[in-house]
């Protein structure tokens, strides 16, 4: 299996390392031709408006949207979650998203950089506790009826999935655990 990792901004190398640790072949995706042969895609954290603009300038937005619409599995973390949301409550008017998860998010919903936090969370998909790192994290403020909540923190949904999309409001690539990446790979295999 080949998993692409959007490599325009953010901690994409940490995702590549996690995926390789689990036996997947992870490749950087920076241009449309890098999507060829990719079975699934990870969208890392970063700054969502900048990532949205970079997706446009690199001409990746439409090819990625087509692949997701055709059923390619996608996993978005932090800014990647924002890019998968149907509604970005405080996004720029020209900011595009893929609209794959029927959720509304607030960018930096937990506060500024100084209010970033770490906590252990329980998920419905593993017995393993997962250390979650929230850095200027988005907050999910609305869930559609087809969105399954897999983990919560501070009373909020922080790990969700719907169809071929998985989204995390935190950075699982910064944890020692591989549970969340394993969950994503399992969804691709099944």
User: 15, 34, 78, 181: which is the annotated catalytic residue?
Assistant: 78
Predicted TM-score (pTM) of this structure: 0.94
User: 15, 34, 173, 181: which is the annotated catalytic residue?
Assistant: 173
Q: Are 144 and 86 in contact (CB under 8 A)?
A: yes
H-type alpha helices, 58-99: 61-69, 79-84
The pLDDT, as a whole number, for residue 114 is 77
pLDDT tens, N- to C-terminus, the chain (190 residues): 899 999 999 889 999 999 999 999 999 999 999 999 999 999 999 888 888 889 999 999 999 999 999 999 999 999 999 999 999 987 777 778 999 999 999 987 777 777 888 999 999 988 888 999 999 899 999 999 999 999 999 999 999 999 999 999 999 999 999 999 999 999 887 6
- Does the annotation count 173 as an active-site position? yes
15 is known as an active-site residue:
no
Q: Which residue has the tokens 């393993």?
A: 128
Q: What is the CATH number of the domain that holds 44?
A: 3.40.50.880
Question: Which among 74, 49, 144, 69 has a CA at the least distance from the CA of 104?
Answer: 144
The structural domain count of the chain equals 1
| Residue 20 to residue 14: CA distance in whole angstroms | 10
Q: Is 171 a catalytic residue?
A: yes
Q: What is the reported pLDDT for 190?
A: 63
| DSSP secondary structure letter of residue 92 | -
Q: Between vectors from CA 175 to CA 169 and to CA 181, what angle results, nearest 5°?
A: 70
Q: Which of 15, 56, 118, 171 is catalytic?
A: 171
What is the span of the domain harbouring residue 73? 2-189
pLDDT tens per residue, range 149-190: 999 999 999 999 999 999 999 999 999 999 999 999 998 876
What pLDDT shows up at residue 82?
A: 95
Classify residue 3 as exposed, middle or buried by CB count within 10 Å of its CB (0-12, 13-18, 19+). Answer: buried
């Amino acid at each position: 299996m080949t998993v692409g990792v959007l490599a325009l901004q953010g901690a994409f190398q940490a995702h590549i390392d996690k995926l390789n640790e689990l036996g997947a072949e992870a490749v950087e995706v920076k241009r449309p031709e890098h999507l060829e042969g990719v079975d699934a895609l990870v969208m890392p954290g970063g700054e969502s408006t900048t990532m949205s603009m970079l997706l446009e300038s690199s001409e990746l937005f439409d090819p990625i949207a087509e692949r997701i619409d055709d059923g390619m599995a996608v996993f978005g973390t932090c800014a990647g979650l924002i890019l998968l949301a149907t509604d970005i409550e405080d996004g720029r008017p020209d900011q595009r998203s893929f609209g794959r998860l029927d959720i509304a998010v607030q960018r930096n919903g937990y506060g500024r950089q100084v209010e970033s936090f770490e906590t252990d969370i329980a998920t419905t998909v593993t017995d393993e506790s997962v250390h979650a790192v929230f850095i200027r994290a988005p907050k999910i403020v609305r869930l559609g009826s087809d969105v399954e909540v897999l983990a919560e923190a501070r009373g909020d949904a922080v790990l969700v999935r719907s169809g071929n999309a998985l989204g995390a409001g935190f950075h699982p690539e910064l944890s020692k655990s591989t549970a969340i990446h394993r969950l994503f790979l399992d969804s691709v295999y099944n």
